[in-house]
């Protein structure tokens, strides 16, 4: 019989998990009962927790430690036998997925708002991952949300706080709290997948890299793996101490926010290789000396070179990419004679393909790359896979990518974001696009092969997702894609994805903005972007 206390509560509005759990301002989470209600709704929705083990940790942002203490007491009150919590409350999203799978826990709770800024006035987040290790599917998040609207009590235990900084096992009511090393299991898995000897030899030979942890969760992982196990020189990891406010930064690995890294790689005496990861460690950006690798190209290059890595030496079962991600990976899949799946945006859509063994590598244009080793995208994994490839090929990053383009052709690619536009205008623009029938028409020098609103039928479980983005595909394979962001916080964000296939190596050096100029103009005109949103230029171009 578990000793617990029941506390009366009342529902809060708006506890609806989004793409990646519940994300709100810290001050919203600090309201008495707010976090507690959501956690109880999770426990009420996932089945009998009695005697089970839960994994727990977060990205170290402001309110992480307080939230963990609250959740530990509630887990005890709800009958869990054990909670495995990362030392210092730290656990990256991919490491959580690794631990959930390895120890077959009853899922896990991850505290993170991913790449959103942290601090007392910034964002906090919480998500539940299922026992397979991946994000909760919609049926589960909907059940959690429904429960938050009915909730009238939660269960906790009246005991003191646990010391999160000392490794060991501690009693908490009738439950055991196991404070574990959040890096060890993850590092062990990476050593199974990649040739650490070859990478060590690469560093020993004078190869230099910079990894920007952006003061977020990957600092301890990158230091232990890169500077520890792989003996990269001290200082390889930049911004490696997790800070509650990420050093006032925006922990999103892209050319704008990872500016320290970009300066280093494009400046004088640049190192050979640069990489960054986001707040909770699932995103990645890859740079060579003076060279940016788009996430779409990164997926394709890793797929083409996967057999150089021990964990993938047997070859790939298939590749999966989100629809707006470029078709560069499709060309590799075709050459390898394996399937390439095109899914809606969102890592959760890869879960069934990975579980069924249909896909081995997955990637998204939004700086996500991963494989069947866990059920989340994995920033440091991508970095290690690149290092393994670099160690084996002994060529600079730019040369590897240019050779790849010469062999497969280049899918020239760019994304234009129009942020914080009026929601009604954004919805009107999408409705306008959905209503068009352009098949057979000429737009500039391009002829439309077809246009549609992407719909997906999951080949494993048959579930159908509609309205996943408007595509206009031209008969030479070029395309423009429009969708509204599912993660923006202010107004609406329109994303325009532009892609052109260029087989001619003589054209591969061109700046994508130049090469794609005609397609970009066609897209702006056909969507009436300026007339409908008042914007003449995008906010961000990547």
- Determine the Cα–Cα distance for residues 243 and 260; give it in Å rounded to an integer: 17
Region label for 66, one of left (φ > 0), alpha (ψ between -120 and 50) or beta (otherwise): alpha
Q: Which does 294 bind (CB under 5 to 8 A by kind): ligand G6P, Zn ion, none?
A: none
The residue from 282, 330, 365, 376 that contacts Zn ion (CB under 5 A) is 282
The residue from 422, 485, 489, 518 that contacts ligand G6P (CB under 6 A) is 485
Q: Which does 305 bind (CB under 5 to 8 A by kind): Zn ion, ligand G6P, none?
A: none
The residue from 92, 296, 345, 500 that contacts ligand G6P (CB under 6 A) is 345
Nearest by Cα to 181 from 235, 124, 225, 133: 225
Other Cβ atoms less than 10 A from the Cβ of 360: the count is 22
Which two three-digit tokens encode residue 327?
């078709």
44 binds Zn ion (CB under 5 A): no
Nearer to ligand G6P, 14 or 486 (CB): 486
Q: Which does 487 bind (CB under 5 to 8 A by kind): ligand G6P, Zn ion, none?
A: ligand G6P
Contact 376, 93 (CB under 8 A): yes
Of 203-211, 247-255, 480-488, 510-518: span binding ligand G6P (CB under 6 A): 480-488
Smallest distance from the beta carbon of 447 to ligand G6P, in angstroms? 29
20 binds ligand G6P (CB under 6 A): yes
Mask: binding to Zn ion, 321-360, rule CB under 5 A, as x and -? ----------------------------------------
Smallest distance from the beta carbon of 16 to Zn ion, in angstroms? 19
Can 114 be counted among the known catalytic residues? yes
Q: Which does 280 bind (CB under 5 to 8 A by kind): Zn ion, ligand G6P, none?
A: Zn ion
Which two three-digit tokens encode residue 328?
């560069």
Q: Which does 485 bind (CB under 5 to 8 A by kind): ligand G6P, Zn ion, none?
A: ligand G6P
CA 277 vs. chain centroid, Å, equals 9
Q: Which does 292 bind (CB under 5 to 8 A by kind): Zn ion, ligand G6P, none?
A: none
CA distances from 64 to 57, 242, 262, 351, 419 (A): 8, 12, 29, 27, 29
Determine the 3-state secondary structure of 38 from DSSP: helix
Of 82-90, 242-250, 294-302, 361-369: span binding ligand G6P (CB under 6 A): 361-369
Smallest distance from the beta carbon of 240 to ligand G6P, in angstroms? 23
CA distances from 131 to 52, 99, 105, 491 (A): 11, 10, 6, 35
378 binds Zn ion (CB under 5 A): no
- Determine the Cα–Cα distance for residues 344 and 161; give it in Å rounded to an integer: 42
284 binds Zn ion (CB under 5 A): no
Nearer to Zn ion, 122 or 278 (CB): 278
Smallest distance from the beta carbon of 59 to ligand G6P, in angstroms? 14
The residue from 114, 239, 298, 325 that contacts Zn ion (CB under 5 A) is 114
The single residue of 20, 45, 114, 414 carrying the catalytic annotation is 114
In the numeric block, the tokens 């404070």 are attached to 179
β pairing state of 209-212 and 273-277 = parallel
Beta bridge partners of 321: 342, 363
Of 241-249, 253-261, 430-438, 482-490: span binding ligand G6P (CB under 6 A): 482-490
Q: Which does 346 bind (CB under 5 to 8 A by kind): Zn ion, ligand G6P, none?
A: ligand G6P
489 binds ligand G6P (CB under 6 A): no
294 binds ligand G6P (CB under 6 A): no
Nearer to ligand G6P, 65 or 495 (CB): 495
369 binds Zn ion (CB under 5 A): no
- Determine the Cα–Cα distance for residues 387 and 308; give it in Å rounded to an integer: 11
Burial of 206 (0-12, 13-18, 19+ CB in 10 A): exposed
Which two three-digit tokens encode residue 435?
């209503």
DSSP 94-105: HHHHHHHHHTT-
The residue from 280, 372, 417, 499 that contacts Zn ion (CB under 5 A) is 280
278 binds Zn ion (CB under 5 A): yes
DSSP 101-156: HHTT-S-EEEE--TTS--STTSEEEEEEE-TTSSBPPHHHHHHHHHHHTT--EEEE
- Determine the Cα–Cα distance for residues 181 and 196; give it in Å rounded to an integer: 21
The residue from 134, 242, 346, 409 that contacts ligand G6P (CB under 6 A) is 346
CA 224 vs. chain centroid, Å, equals 22
Radius of gyration of the chain (CA): 23
Task: Compute how many residues bind ligand G6P; rule: CB under 6 A.
Answer: 12
366 binds ligand G6P (CB under 6 A): yes
368 binds ligand G6P (CB under 6 A): yes
The residue from 273, 292, 347, 418 that contacts ligand G6P (CB under 6 A) is 347
Beta bridge partners of 237: 211
Which residues are known catalytic residues? Answer: 114
Binding residues for ligand G6P (CB under 6 A): 19-20, 345-347, 364, 366, 368, 485-487, 495
Binding residues for Zn ion (CB under 5 A): 114, 278, 280, 282
């Amino acid at each position: 019989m578990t000793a617990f206390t029941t506390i009366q509560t009342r529902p809060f509005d708006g506890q609806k998990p989004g793409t990646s759990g519940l994300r709100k301002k810290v001050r919203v989470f600090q309201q008495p009962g707010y976090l507690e209600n959501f956690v109880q709704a999770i426990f009420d929705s996932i089945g009998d927790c009695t005697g089970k083990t839960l994994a727990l940790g977060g990205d170290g942002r402001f309110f992480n430690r307080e939230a963990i203490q609250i959740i530990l007491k509630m887990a005890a009150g709800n009958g869990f036998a054990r909670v495995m919590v990362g030392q210092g409350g730290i656990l990256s999203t991919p490491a959580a997925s690794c631990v959930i799978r390895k120890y077959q826990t009853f899922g896990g709770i991850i505290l993170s708002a991913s790449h959103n800024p942290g601090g007392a006035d910034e964002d906090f987040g919480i998500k539940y991952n299922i026992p397979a290790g991946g994000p909760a599917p919609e049926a589960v998040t909907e059940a959690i949300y429904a429960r938050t609207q009915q909730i009238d009590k939660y269960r906790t235990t009246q005991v003191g706080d646990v010391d999160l900084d000392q490794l060991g096992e501690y009693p908490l009511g009738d439950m055991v709290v196991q404070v574990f090393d959040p890096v060890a299991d993850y590092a062990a898995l990476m050593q199974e997948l990649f040739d650490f000897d070859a990478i060590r030899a690469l560093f020993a030979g004078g190869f230099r890299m910079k990894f920007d942890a952006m003061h977020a969760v990957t600092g301890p992982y990158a230091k232990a793996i890169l500077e520890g196990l792989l003996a990269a020189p001290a200082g390889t990891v930049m911004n490696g101490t997790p800070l509650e406010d990420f050093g006032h930064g925006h922990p999103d690995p892209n050319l704008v926010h990872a500016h320290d890294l970009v300066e280093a790689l494009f400046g004088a005496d640049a190192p050979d290789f640069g990489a960054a990861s986001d707040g909770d460690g699932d995103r990645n950006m890859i740079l060579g000396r003076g060279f940016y690798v788009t996430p779409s190209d990164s997926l394709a290059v890793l797929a083409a070179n996967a057999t150089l890595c021990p964990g993938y030496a047997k070859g790939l079962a298939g590749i999966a990419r989100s629809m707006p991600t470029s078709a560069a990976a499709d060309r590799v899949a075709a050459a390898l004679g394996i399937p390439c799946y095109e899914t809606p945006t969102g890592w959760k859509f890869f879960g069934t393909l990975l579980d069924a063994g249909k896909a081995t590598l997955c990637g998204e244009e939004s700086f996500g790359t991963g494989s069947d080793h866990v059920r989340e995208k994995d920033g440091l994994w991508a970095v290690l896979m690149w290092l393994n490839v670099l160690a084996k090929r002994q060529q600079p990053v730019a040369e590897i990518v240019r050779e790849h383009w010469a062999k497969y052709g280049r899918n020239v690619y760019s994304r234009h974001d129009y942020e914080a536009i009026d929601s009604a205008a954004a919805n009107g623009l999408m409705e306008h696009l959905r209503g068009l029938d352009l098949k057979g028409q000429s737009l500039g020098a391009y002829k439309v092969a077809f246009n549609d609103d992407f719909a997906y039928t999951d080949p494993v479980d048959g579930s159908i997702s509609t309205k996943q983005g408007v595509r206009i595909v031209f008969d030479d394979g070029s395309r423009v894609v429009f969708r509204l962001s599912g993660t923006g916080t202010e107004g609406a964000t329109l994303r325009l994805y532009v892609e052109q296939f260029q087989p001619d190596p003589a054209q591969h050096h061109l700046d994508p903005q130049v090469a794609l100029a005609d397609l970009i103009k066609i897209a702006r005109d056909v969507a009436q972007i300026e007339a409908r949103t008042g914007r003449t230029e995008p906010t961000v171009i990547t």
